[in-house]
Amino acid sequence: MTTTELGTVGRRLTSAEQQQYRDDGYLTGLPLFDAAAVEQMQRRFGELCAKLPADVEMGRVNCWHKANRWVDHVCRTPALLDYVEDLVGPNFFLWGAQFFCKFPGDGTIVPWHQDAQYWPLSPRKAVTAWIALFDTDRENAAMQVVKGTHQTGDVEHRTSDNANYILPDEIDSAAIDTSRIVSLDLRAGEMSLHDDGLIHGSGANESDRVRVGLTLRFCATDVKCDLDVWPYFEAFLVRGIDEFGHNPQGTIPTQDGFPVTKFQHSSEFA
């Protein structure tokens, strides 16, 4: 698997978009990859799926940026980093990369949740980029967000035993203001951005089309992880300088590997 340049159609965020992110907790429909790049990413996704052992589900493993040089290359796309910089400033690192995929009829669900509830990061201000590899809409279970809920603070989560849930904890649907739900419909090659306090989730894919989003997690360099909770956490500086040095630095992959669990250390792929 070779690494080639991906064509982009990105731009910088406007001041109005930056204010919308602060007010609503998300942005959507941002152009990123051109048609040729989308075709390459779809092909590579199929190749990566084929690499996984039969008992490993693509949607339940993380840390692709630690295992695979092509994924690392995508994570460092300048047009992508421009968008993130416009929200978090010039110095920031990557710490997560996961394919959230829903194949037709697989039944998987991402329950209503706040990302920050899962993450031992301080201060809480992580930004997630969600890159659509295929068109995503209500029919094939696009991500939905509850507008403005990043400003409400922590919302109570409860643990569920639903085997179809990609995440174990959920917010009671009775606590969701349905009038504020927005479906983040995206064309392949577009992306969204959301705040780690924003309530979001997605239902089951009941269409005959696959839905795949590559989710990348970014933080400004002043954010520190509690390593007693996440001993496998590593920061991959992708822009600027790390003037704080709060977190261990990960090793950039040189191989075309793959993760087999949700959390792994970069040394496992050396």
| CA–CA dist 110, 196 (Å, integer) | 15
In a domain, 6, yes or no: no
Strands 121-122 and 224-225: antiparallel
Q: Are 146 and 22 in contact (CB under 8 A)?
A: no
Tens of pLDDT along 50-109? 999 999 999 889 999 999 999 999 999 999 999 999 999 999 999 999 999 999 988 899
In a domain, 264, yes or no: no
* Overall domain count for the chain: 1
Tens of pLDDT along 58-73? 988 999 999 999 999 9
The pLDDT of residue 10 is 85
The pLDDT of residue 3 is 55
In a domain, 100, yes or no: yes
Block residue for tokens 């400004």: 220
* Host domain of residue 141: 15-242
Q: Enter the pTM of the model.
A: 0.95
CATH number of the structural domain spanning residue 115 = 2.60.120.620
